[in-house]
């Protein structure tokens, strides 16, 4: 078993955190991850109160282990944070925006505060917010994020925020990635794209099938899906998604999309209702290369932890003590 400050903090048997993917990481997926020894996080996204009420009840009723909830900081308000805290999660994760607005509220509820950051400036705000854990998210990540790559970002944030423990995110989908993250000084890995391709994820089967066959070259960071859906994301954050017909038509032509917004929005909503992955977003990170199946979330946690353990043990065999030859 791998033990880190993350596993100690939540009594985990694997240093694996489910990313709170908005509307995808529902209560059953979060519970499956927690029951398997990881930390399950419900994806509260933009703060849909009825959705949260249903999914928080599900996670509460489906696990006795620690679990958490994630919210998009710039879209959140006190009311939604209070609703989440009333469900008594063990952790609240805030991403994208200034977490200082809600830090005190979360801490006062006796709940651990996790902040996901994309750069050093974000890490500084997370410290000021009173974060118990900081997720360093590289640009390889699926969904929204920033510009810095995981490999140099993680150790830079580890050094900057010490002694606060860091979790690595962005492009990690297997035991090799987890072992590498631990070697960079992280105390665990947070994964989204890999858990998207599980039966428990709340996503159309067609989207999961696309993840199984997609290559990382087919992903792109873009704003066009936020634009058509009408979300006012801060300009520093784009979202990594699979290229599809919608991307081919509008990425790089955002001004034209703005002019055609009304009809395009109606068409987008209709396509979304039909689960049409050519015309609507499938968020995915660069780790898609390594995803070839839809795997049970609990089995995934156990497999990734087992693989990482083997890689860490193998790593020590690379060290040669005699210098001869
Ligand atoms: C489908 C999907 C939805 C996501 N939604 C959110 C979200 O609502 N809030 C959030 O903080 N991060 C979200 N993320 C980003 C994750 O928190 C995380 O940083 C990312 O998944 C890590 O990279 P990976 O996808 O390569 O594992 C999302 C990611 C994906 C793939």
**What domains are there in the chain, each with its CATH number?**
5-202+295-317 (3.20.20.70), 205-273 (no CATH)
Asked whether residue 322 carries a pLDDT value surpassing 90, the answer given is no
Closest ligand 1 atom, residue 194 Cα: 27
Per-residue confidence (pLDDT) for residue 321, from 0 to 100:
81
d(CA 233, CA 210): 26
Going from the Cα of 324 to the center of ligand 1, the distance in angstroms, rounded, reads 48
Model confidence, pTM: 0.97
Kind plus residue range of the DSSP H or E element containing 86: helix 78-86
Q: Is the CB of 70 under 6 A from ligand 1?
A: yes
On whether the CB atoms of residues 46 and 72 are closer than 8 A, the answer is: yes
Going from the Cα of 141 to the center of ligand 1, the distance in angstroms, rounded, reads 7
CB atoms within 10 A of CB 89: 26
Going from the Cα of 317 to the center of ligand 1, the distance in angstroms, rounded, reads 34
Tell me the mean pLDDT in the region 111-127.
98
The SS3 assignment for 117 reads: strand
Burial of 110 (0-12, 13-18, 19+ CB in 10 A): exposed
Dmax (CA) of the chain: 72
Kind plus residue range of the DSSP H or E element containing 43: strand 40-43
The SS3 assignment for 145 reads: strand
Q: Is the CB of 19 under 6 A from ligand 1?
A: yes
Query: What is residue 2's DSSP assignment?
Result: -
d(CA 256, CA 1): 54
Q: Is the CB of 177 under 6 A from ligand 1?
A: no
Q: What does the pLDDT look like over 170-184, one tens digit per residue?
A: 999 999 999 999 999
Positive or negative: CA dihedral 9, 67, 69, 169:
positive
Asked whether residue 323 carries a pLDDT value surpassing 90, the answer given is no
**Residues in contact with 128: Cβ distance below 8 Å, sequence separation at least 6, in sequence order:** 100, 103
d(CA 253, CA 166): 38
Q: Whose CA is nearest to atom 12 of ligand 1?
A: 21
Q: What does the pLDDT look like over 208-234, one tens digit per residue?
A: 999 999 999 999 999 999 999 999 999
Per-residue confidence (pLDDT) for residue 294, from 0 to 100:
98
Per-residue confidence (pLDDT) for residue 55, from 0 to 100:
98
d(CA 246, CA 231): 17
Tell me the mean pLDDT in the region 107-132.
97
Per-residue confidence (pLDDT) for residue 204, from 0 to 100:
94
Asked whether residue 197 carries a pLDDT value surpassing 90, the answer given is yes
Q: What does the pLDDT look like over 31-54, one tens digit per residue?
A: 999 999 999 999 999 999 999 999
Q: Is the CB of 22 under 6 A from ligand 1?
A: yes
Closest ligand 1 atom, residue 171 Cα: 26
Length of the chain: 325
Per-residue confidence (pLDDT) for residue 240, from 0 to 100:
98
Per-residue confidence (pLDDT) for residue 84, from 0 to 100:
98
Going from the Cα of 13 to the center of ligand 1, the distance in angstroms, rounded, reads 23
Per-residue confidence (pLDDT) for residue 23, from 0 to 100:
94
Closest ligand 1 atom, residue 43 Cα: 8
Q: Both ends of the chain: CA-CA distance in Å?
A: 36
Asked whether residue 325 carries a pLDDT value surpassing 90, the answer given is no
């Amino acid at each position: 078993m791998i033990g880190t400050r993350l596993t100690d903090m939540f009594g985990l048997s694997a240093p694996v955190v489910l990313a709170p993917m908005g509307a995808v990481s529902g209560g059953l997926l979060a519970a499956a991850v927690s029951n398997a020894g990881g930390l399950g996080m419900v994806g509260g996204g933009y703060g849909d109160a009825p959705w949260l009420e249903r999914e928080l009840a599900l996670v509460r009723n489906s696990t006795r282990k620690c679990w958490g909830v994630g919210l998009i900081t710039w879209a959140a308000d006190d009311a939604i944070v209070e609703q989440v805290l009333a469900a008594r999660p063990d952790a609240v994760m805030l991403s994208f925006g200034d977490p200082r607005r809600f830090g005190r509220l979360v801490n006062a509820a006796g709940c651990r505060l996790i902040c996901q950051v994309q750069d050093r400036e974000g890490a500084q705000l997370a410290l000021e917010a009173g974060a118990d854990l900081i997720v360093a998210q590289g640009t390889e990540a699926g969904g929204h994020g920033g510009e810095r790559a995981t490999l140099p970002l993680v150790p830079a944030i580890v050094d900057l925020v010490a002694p606060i423990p860091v979790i690595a995110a962005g492009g990690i989908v297997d035991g090799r990635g987890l072992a590498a993250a631990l070697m960079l000084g992280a105390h665990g890995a947070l994964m989204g794209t890999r858990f998207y391709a599980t039966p428990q994820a709340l996503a159309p089967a067609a989207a999961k099938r696309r993840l199984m066959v997609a290559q990382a070259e087919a992903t792109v960071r873009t704003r066009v899906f936020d634009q058509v859906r009408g979300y006012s994301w801060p300009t520093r954050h784009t979202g990594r998604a699979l290229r599809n017909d919608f991307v081919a038509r509008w990425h790089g032509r955002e001004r034209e999309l703005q002019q055609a917004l009304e009809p395009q929005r109606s068409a987008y909503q209709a396509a979304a209702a039909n689960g049409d992955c050519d015309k609507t977003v499938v968020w995915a990170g660069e780790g898609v290369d390594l995803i070839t199946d839809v795997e049970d979330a609990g089995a995934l946690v156990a497999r990734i932890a087992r693989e990482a353990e083997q890689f860490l043990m193998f790593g020590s065999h690379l060290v040669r003590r005699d210098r001869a030859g």
